[in-house]
Amino acid sequence: MKNLIRLMSLAVALVFTVACGSGADKKSAPASSDNGGTQSMSLTGWESGKSGNPIPPNWQPMFRWVANGEVDSMYRIFTDGMHFMIADQGAATPQQARDMLRGFYRDHKPISFSYKHNGQSQSGLAQYAIGELATDKTNYRVTMVLQNGFIISMEYELL
């Protein structure tokens, strides 16, 4: 039920973003394909293709940023009106999201990141990806949604 509610909230965020035209004047997001399975990345980068399910090239930088806690790199593609959550704490602006991520990575040293799945919305306007981040304290499911090359939704959910 919790996952259904989360998926519904992501769908609402996507519909809202599409209806408002957020980022419509910016560059287009790279295309994404629907892949299952997992792939891990180390904290100094990651290897492609070991599991038979390589991380799609358009997601590689973002997964590396999450795995290494590269907050300023992530922040460059945050957009106004984005949905952002860490556990049950949300941010209203990209600057607040950046500050929350800085605190998160300061308090939760990343150990590994595993790619799980990616795909795109039925309309093709947005792409999503899911992975799992292991930290020194606990593990998180990380879900990102991109539209026009910018993050419109990002969640770190406790596992």
Query: How do residues 40-97 score in pLDDT, each as one tens digit?
Result: 554 443 443 345 567 889 899 999 999 999 999 999 999 999 999 999 999 999 999 9
pLDDT at 23 over 90: no
Q: Are 141 and 38 in contact (CB under 8 A)?
A: no
Please state which of the ranges 19-33, 82-96, 105-119, 120-134 shows the lowest mean pLDDT: 19-33
pLDDT over 70 percentage in the chain: 67
Kindly state the tokens that stand for 129: 């990806």
Res 10: pLDDT: 46
Res 86: pLDDT: 97
Alpha-carbon torsion, ordered 124, 150, 99, 113, to 10 deg = 60
pLDDT at 133 over 50: yes
Residue 3 phi, psi dihedral angles, 5° rounding: -65, -35
- Total domains in the chain come to 1
Res 54: pLDDT: 77
Cα distance between residue 153 and residue 137, in whole Å:
24
94 lies in which domain range? 2-158
Res 118: pLDDT: 94
Sign of CA dihedral 153, 154, 158, 159: positive
- Provide the pLDDT confidence category of residue 39 given band limits of 50, 70 and 90: low
pLDDT at 22 over 70: no
Token pair 């939704």 is found at 153
- Provide the pLDDT confidence category of residue 32 given band limits of 50, 70 and 90: very low
Res 55: pLDDT: 82
**CATH for 16:** 3.10.450.50
* More confidently predicted of 51 and 27: 51
